[in-house]
Amino acid sequence: MGRDCVQIKDLLVRAVIGVNDWERRARQDVLINICMFTDTRAAGKTDNIADALNYRSVAKRVIALAEGSQFFLVERLAEEIARVCVQEFGVERVRVEVEKPGAVRFARSVGVVIERTAEDFAE
């Protein structure tokens, strides 16, 4: 299993997320961090994008997923982001953090951190 981690840090998107009526009507800021565990040795040796995990493609897909979603829970959004990384981009293991800044008074943000592998999505 890959020991290396390709990161996407502080990806800020606007999404409909939450259980309250006002959260269903207005988009809110959602902060996403992703650590995709994969083997980067080939890319490190060849310096060829074909041997690398294309983080730009991952980011575009995650943005489209988040902005097009209407999940109630950050847990569900995190799960779907993990699914995309594993199933669509072949990542061996992924850690996903999803936060809602300012969701709780006196807290900078609230959110979840999950880790998933391909086994978690086996049908």
Domains and CATH numbers, the chain: 4-121 (3.30.1130.10)
Give me the chain's average pLDDT, please. Answer: 94
Is the confidence at residue 57, as pLDDT, over 80?
yes
| Span 32-52, average pLDDT | 96
pLDDT number for residue 20 = 85
Specify whether the CB–CB gap between 83 and 121 falls below 8 A. Answer: yes
Closest residue by Cα to residue 33 from 60, 17, 12: 12
pLDDT number for residue 29 = 95
CA 105 to chain centroid: 25
Q: Which is the catalytic residue, given 9, 45, 60, 100?
A: 100
Query: Bridge-partner residues for 34, per DSSP?
Result: 8, 96
Specify whether the CB–CB gap between 38 and 7 falls below 8 A. Answer: no
| Span 75-103, average pLDDT | 96
Whether 45 sits among the annotated catalytic residues: the reply is: no
Specify whether the CB–CB gap between 91 and 37 falls below 8 A. Answer: yes
| Span 55-75, average pLDDT | 97
| Span 52-58, average pLDDT | 97
Specify whether the CB–CB gap between 93 and 2 falls below 8 A. Answer: yes
User: In 1-123, which ranges are E strands?
Assistant: 4-15, 28-38, 93-101, 109-117
- Look at the chain and count its residues: 123
pLDDT band at 30 (very low <50, low <70, confident <90, very high): very high
Is the confidence at residue 2, as pLDDT, over 80?
no
Specify whether the CB–CB gap between 42 and 12 falls below 8 A. Answer: no
